[in-house]
Structure 1
Amino acid sequence: MEQKLFFNGDIITMREEQPYAQALLVKGGAIAFIGSLERARELAGAEAEMIDLEGKTLMPAFMDAHSHITNVASNLRVADLSGCKDEDEIILRLREFAKAHGVPAGDWLIGYGYDHNELASGMHPTCKALDAIEDHPVLVTHTSGHMGAVNRLGLQKLGITRETPDPTGGVIGRDSGGDPNGYLEETAFTKVSALIPAPTLEEMMQAMDEAQEIYLKNGITTAQDGMVVPGNFALLKAMADAGRLKIDVVAYIDLAENSRLLRANHPYTQNYLNHLKIGGYKIFLDGSPQGRTAWMSEPYENAPDGYRGYPIYTDAQVKAFCEVALHEKQQLLAHCNGDAAAQQYIDAFKAALGEMGVKNEIRPVMIHAQTLRPDQLDEMKQIGMIPSYFVAHTYYWGDVHIKNLGRARAMRISPVGTTVQKQVRYTFHQDAPVVPPKMLHTVWCAVNRLTKSGQVLGEDERISPYKAIQGVTEHVAWQYAQEDKKGSLQSGKLADLVILDRNPLKVEPMEIKDIEVLETLKEGRTLYRKG
């Protein structure tokens, strides 16, 4: 049995009763002992590998509370539009990608990651800009994944005309004459983007190999695929069957249209099979605050006619979704950015619990929870609902939130400080590929809450580094009902570990984002080592 004994560094246990240990002994993929170096040496076999940390930091590997790993893989095969400053740069990157990858004329040319808030126009691209590319249908996706645009050739390929109605929960952008202008929002975008021809299975499996390396490079050994439909489940299952999943992946099935996927693959709901597990269901209740489609209880700043965003489903539909999850005893994740969407989820879940007369055994999660109010946190605590915050919004879009929501509401974006005060369990995520799965940057955001312009976005909502790390380790293990196996360093738990060049609990708070991941181990085996 392979053994490793780690010593001579800061070993953070994430156990408040014993925050540090002198040594950690790994046997056969699990933690055999954590405590004094003397006792660890006694328990280690003669063949144990002695690993001198040389003052570095060892701690539980990070756990991803919400992302879309198959989308991370997909985006490795499209043009990267992040950081584009205007439409001309978008066109240039698309053309460079087509040339570099030999995209044949007539095939879809796809880009991901533009942010209209960073474009000089402040507007989403439309056919007016994208028609500069004439030999390809073009689709570009906003960094939020909630909206995007196509050129006129793309509109033709998708069959979108002036007679095409807006779908429920979505908007087709139109010019002054009523013709589609190429912009697609929420369900209008997500439904058509699913029609784009996919790469081959082997091409996507190769991209998944690369995507896993991105997670491992950031110290993550448990990842999520947060909105699974038949195509990406087939990819995940193929990866698992081929033994190509290196990290644990928890998949959440699209409840609204693909619930049969969970029922048809019931063995995956019990335990991991070759590192793949179905965690439950996922629903979307609203859109994006930076895209002004999140459903708010109060209007957006400078919004015409008191515009507050909009819901995707009726109250009755959301209650029905909650009833399905409770009846099947499957965890339910609901995307809620606006406080109106959050209230809809809270009310629906409470109503389902009351009418069904059952206990909450499924640990429901509110994904993003950007604009939660204190009174809503109280309600969530009562029913055992977990807020999973996209706290990096404070940095990436904090300045935009001040503009869209006004200063008072923006200061309460991702209200983690209030959540800690109310003793509500929380987790953090990056919603990758929306932003890269950089856990230490997210910890930095929770601790410092600085916007890109350097403003502090809610002094009272800052938390300590330890509390922030809980949101990417032990709290996530609890969210996944895996607290007996992951999230802290204790005997009997999996040896999912990360080695850092510095201790995030001891460095200056502003330095946390600069800490480097040196090594990531899954069940005691090194899967990433910084070169």
Structure 2
Amino acid sequence: MDILFTNGTIRTMERESPAAQALLVRDGRVAAVGSLAAVEDQAEIDVRRVDLAGRTLLPSFLDAHSHFTAVANQFLQADLSGCRSWADIQNRIRDYIRREHVPAGQWVTAQGYDHNQMSECRHPDRACLDAAAPENPVVICHQSGHMGVFNTAALERLGVTGDTPCPAGGVIGQACGVPTGYMEENAFLEFQKRVPMMPLEAFLGAYRKAQGLYASHGITTVQEGLLRRELVPLYQALLADGSLKLDVVAYGDEAGTAAARQAFPASVRRYQGHFKLGGYKMFLDGSPQGRTAWLRQPYQGEAAYRGYGPLTDAQVLDMVRRAGAEGVQLLAHCNGDAACAQYLAALETAAREGVDLAAMRPVMIHAQLLGRDQLPAVKRLGVIPSFFVAHVYHWGDIHWENLGPDRADRISPAGSAAELGIPFTFHTDAPVIPPDLLETVWCAVNRVTRSGRLLGAEERVDARTALEAVTANAAFQYFEERDKGTLSPGKRADLVILDRDPLAVPPEELRDIRVLETWKDGAAIFRREP
């Protein structure tokens, strides 16, 4: 049956295209869009009419970078977001153990604390977690995902002692030769993945909740931002029972990509049951709010410390060559400008060697401290910067302290990229922050911090440019511009209905717009309760 949307504002997000009066969906794809009379002429007799009642219809949003499994995992962990002290963390963990009836000896995981928001102004230690859960091994993950803390029982389970070698590009905190429980970057990631996973049925339920969360924000294409080998069986189960309703694009490390290729041989750059293997992901530094991003100049107040990169130049170049030889995309996590420089240098060398970068569409994830002087190389090499622009609001004041006013003003230089005609995308890095791309659009347009400070007015973009970053440009990043990102005939009917028009409201009201409905392939998958 045809579906006809009328009586509202329809923003196709096609360039130079005015708002349409009607949109026709047939067999999960857009069949026609334009004036009411022209679209009605193409509708079949048996048509279902959807009255927009003055609301606004757009192409649904594409998540340019986040961590789908980690978002699902939130529903299986204690939530530490908003904690303002170590005591808050302890109370949240105790409440979780009590509420979920966690038996003694079972692992407890928690995520979402931010030491920058703590009254103690530092990470908790293992003694803090021991007091909260004396009978359980505990690990808590920082909001950035780049660091965390284990309690004593967890360290003992994992065999971590003062003599444990630290993985390259990581830190295992010690005091007088004894682990404090704190770890960062590769050390934390390595030991975190050794924590036993929850039962399969629990994960499947959590994935369903995660999809509901994304859909409630108008997102129908999501990303598995680091597919490790351990996650592949979970995706096998998701595909086997038909649980995936959203499209998932996965980027793995070498082991994860190899395992996914073996499990899903048909998924390389094309969907197999809503799952697609997009390519590789590598980390070139950490996070600026955690002071592990790799900078060209030292952090504010430091004589020499600039953060660090976990990979050598040769390793980065090898990964670029591998992606090019295999014909897949490469995503590189680069927060600091030194990490950006390392990635750009490797791409430059690979291009001289004959690697087809245009076919690869390399992506620079976060690109927060990407320098304006580096943007010409980004354009020349065809790199797609995916800016974590919501940092302006969530951590802009912290960056002001860590980086100084000048560098803080220049984070996520979307305005400069737009001036050079560089296509870029925006993302939320969920679960670092909720997958709310309308908030991200608001951040890009207004660039206001939590304290109300205007951060880099010259890097603001208009609402249309910001919306393109989460629709048309994001579709291009995924090699899906023929199927998604705008509402033109032949494309998938992935739609979002908003209560107001983001191209007509005052800029400061963008994050107050509500998602009322989300449609995937011509079927409603989310409706907000009245």
TM-score band by shorter chain is: over 0.9
Give the TM-score normalised by the residue count of structure 2. 0.98
RMSD, matched Cα: 1.1
- The answer for the alignment partner of 1:9 in structure 2 is 8
CA deviation digits over 1:322-356, x for unaligned, max 9?
Answer: 00000001000000000000110010111122124
Partner of 1:36: 35
Q: Percent identity?
A: 49
Measured at CA, do residues 228 and 59 of structure 1 come closer, stay the same or move farther in structure 2, by a change above 3 Å? same
Cα-to-partner distance string for 1:140-180 (whole Å, 9 max, x where unaligned): 100000000011122111111111122200001111x1211
2:76 partner SS? coil
CA distance in 1, matches of 2:166, 2:51: 61
Q: Does 1:79 align with 2:69?
A: no
Distance 1:258 1:150 in 2: 25
Aligned to 1:499: 497
* 1:358 Cα deviation after fit: 4.2
Task: Report the counterpart of residue 435 of structure 1 in structure 2.
Answer: 433
Provide the secondary structure at the position in 1 that maps to 2:182.
Answer: strand
Q: Give the corresponding residue for 2:281.
A: 282
TM superposition shift of 1:18: 1.2
Q: Could you tell me how far 1:52 is from its partner in structure 2?
A: 1.3
Distance in 1 (CA, whole Å) between partners of 2:412 and 2:265 is 35
Which residue identity does 1:288 align to in structure 2? S
Tell me if structure 2 keeps the 8 A contact 1:79–1:111: yes
Deviation at 1:357, TM superposition (A): 5.4
- 2-structure distance, mates of 1:386, 1:262: 25
1:39: Cα distance to partner? 1.3
Shift of 1:411: 0.2
Give the drift of 1:253.
Answer: 1.4
Q: What does the per-residue CA deviation read over 1:446-504, in whole Å, with 9 as the maximum and x for residues that have no partner? A: 00001000001100001000000001000000000100000001000000000000001
**1:76 is paired with a residue of what secondary structure?**
helix
Q: Which moved more, 1:427-436 or 1:266-275?
A: 266-275
In structure 2, C-alpha distance between the alignment counterparts of 1:321 and 1:347, rounded to whole Å: 13
SS at the partner of 1:444?
helix
1:253–1:261 contact (8 Å) kept in structure 2: no
Query: Is contact 2:124–2:149 with CA below 8 Å preserved after alignment?
Result: yes
In structure 1, what is the equivalent of residue 294 of structure 2? 295
Partner-residue secondary structure (3-state), 1:360: helix
Q: Which residue pairs with 1:526 in the alignment?
A: 524
Q: Which residue of the partner structure matches residue 424 of structure 1?
A: 422
- After TM superposition, list the pairs within 5 Å mapping 1:346-357 onto structure 2: 346-356=344-354
> What's 2:150 paired with?
150
The question of whether the paired residues in 1 share the 8 Å contact of 2:225 and 2:252 is answered with yes
Kindly provide the amino acid, as one letter, of the partner of residue 112 in structure 2.
G
- Check 1:357–1:213 CA distance in 2 against 1; reply closer, same or farther (3 A cut): closer
Number of the residue aligned with 1:127? 126
**Residues 237 and 276 in structure 1, CA contact (< 8 A), matched pair in contact too:** no
Equivalent-residue separation in structure 1 for 2:328 and 2:18 (angstroms): 33
Q: Give the number of equivalent residue pairs.
A: 527
Tell me, yes or no, if the aligned pair for 2:285 and 2:335 is still in contact at 8 Å.
Answer: yes
Q: Give CA deviations for 1:104-146 in whole Å, capped at 9, x if unaligned.
A: 1011111100000000011011123112121111111000000
Q: 1:375, CA displacement in angstroms? A: 1.9
Q: CA deviation at 1:359?
A: 5.2
Corresponding residue of 2:65: 66
Secondary structure of the residue aligned to 1:332 is: strand
Q: Distance in 2 between matches of 1:116 and 1:348?
A: 34
CA-CA distance at 1:290 after TM superposition: 0.3
Q: Which amino acid in 2 is paired with 1:364?
A: P
In the alignment, structure 1 segments of 5+ residues that lack a partner are none
Deviating beyond 6 angstroms after TM superposition, the runs of 4 or more aligned structure 1 residues are none
The correspondence for 2:397, drawn from 399, 402, 408, is 399
State the 1:301 CA deviation.
0.7
Q: CA deviation at 1:365?
A: 0.1
Paired residue for 2:388, among 386, 390, 394? Answer: 390
TM-score (norm. length: structure 1)? 0.98
Q: Secondary structure at the match of 2:215?
A: helix
